[in-house]
């Protein structure tokens, strides 16, 4: 990682996510005021507080690397994207946050040449932290704001029975049609980027997404899953890439439909 070596990156991502999580939980403990953005998605004070913390930390840690952050983009502040940049979603799963089910996350990812090479996904209400850098992925429990010793995670090998995971807030007929190609014996619903992490840790095999997402929604979880031995691909089998600008059919940083998979093939035979 050149100057951003793996140990420094993991430490930075962990500390930053934990601090953002404290700010989020401060809002979570009280009354949650919700406003609606121009794209009709909800936003809360927790989003703003967490993003401000993350941006300040990133500026100090890597001042020369551009940062694409969800609320900054919503405000029209979009940097020129270089070969290396950060993607930030300060509070992924705002609907889960508003509904108080705990399944919301802090997401920070480093993108290099279109590939998510490092990332952190932190679920502060659940006390689960997933972090990846330099091809290694880990999970750590968080107790009283402190991360315990991390344990390496990896996807599970393919087997005859498939556990699929999907969005708690968004599901589509295309998802069900796709899953019909596999022997799905269990389906789990989960919010936010936790879906990637459950595949990365071997608790599920497939996460198909036939719905709109933005790059900041997926990059950190994608980094964790790839480092754990999984894959995230477009419907044609090519890897999902980041830094998509000037797209003829969609807005900047919008993702196509994709499949996230553990040890089995994301494309049915």
pLDDT tens per residue, range 125-145: 999 999 999 999 999 999 999
Residue with tokens 């029975």: 161
What's the CA gap between 10 and 23, in Å, rounded?
20
Q: What is the pLDDT of residues 83-104, one digit of tens each?
A: 999 999 999 999 899 999 999 9
Q: What is the pLDDT of residues 253-262, one digit of tens each?
A: 999 999 999 9
Residue 220 Cα distances to 111, 251, 267, angstroms? 9, 20, 22
Q: Which residues are annotated as a binding site for substrate?
A: 70, 91-94, 217
What's the CA gap between 111 and 127, in Å, rounded?
26
What's the CA gap between 9 and 145, in Å, rounded?
19
Domains parsed from the chain with CATH numbers: 6-152 (3.30.540.10), 162-261 (3.40.190.80)
pLDDT confidence of residue 46 = 96
Q: Where are the alpha helices (DSSP H) in 65-164?
A: 70-74, 94-99
Q: Which residues are annotated as a binding site?
A: 70, 89, 91-94, 217
pLDDT confidence of residue 88 = 98
Q: Which residues are annotated as a binding site for Mg(2+)?
A: 70, 89, 91-92, 217
Q: What is the pLDDT of residues 31-87, one digit of tens each?
A: 999 998 888 788 999 999 999 999 999 999 999 999 999 999 999 999 999 899 999
What's the CA gap between 11 and 129, in Å, rounded?
12
pLDDT confidence of residue 168 = 66
């Amino acid at each position: 990682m050149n100057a951003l070596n793996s140990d420094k990156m993991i430490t930075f991502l962990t500390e930053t996510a934990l601090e953002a999580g404290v700010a989020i939980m401060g809002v979570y403990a009280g009354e949650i005021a919700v406003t609606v953005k121009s794209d009709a998605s909800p936003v809360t004070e927790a989003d703003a507080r967490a993003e401000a913390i993350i941006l300040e930390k990133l500026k100090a840690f890597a001042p020369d690397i551009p940062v694409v952050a969800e609320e900054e983009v919503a405000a029209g502040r979009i940097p020129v994207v270089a070969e290396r940049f950060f993607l930030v979603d300060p509070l992924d799963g705002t609907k889960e946050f508003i509904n108080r089910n705990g399944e919301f996350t802090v997401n920070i990812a480093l993108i290099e040449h279109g590939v998510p090479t490092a990332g952190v996904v932190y679920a502060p209400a659940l006390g689960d932290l997933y972090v990846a850098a330099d091809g290694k992925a880990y999970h750590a429990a968080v107790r009283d704001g402190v991360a315990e010793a991390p344990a390496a995670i990896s996807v599970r090998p393919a087997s005859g029975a498939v556990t699929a995971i999907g969005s708690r807030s968004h599901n589509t007929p295309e998802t069900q049609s796709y899953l019909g190609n596999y022997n799905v014996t269990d389906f789990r619903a989960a919010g936010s980027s936790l879906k990637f992490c459950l595949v990365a840790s071997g608790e599920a095999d497939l996460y198909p997404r036939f719905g709109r997402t933005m790059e900041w929604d997926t990059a950190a979880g994608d980094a964790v899953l790839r480092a754990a031995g999984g894959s995230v691909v477009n419907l044609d089998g090519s890897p999902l890439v980041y830094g998509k600008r000037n797209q003829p059919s969609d807005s900047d940083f919008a993702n196509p439909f994709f499949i996230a998979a553990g040890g089995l093939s994301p494309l049915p035979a």
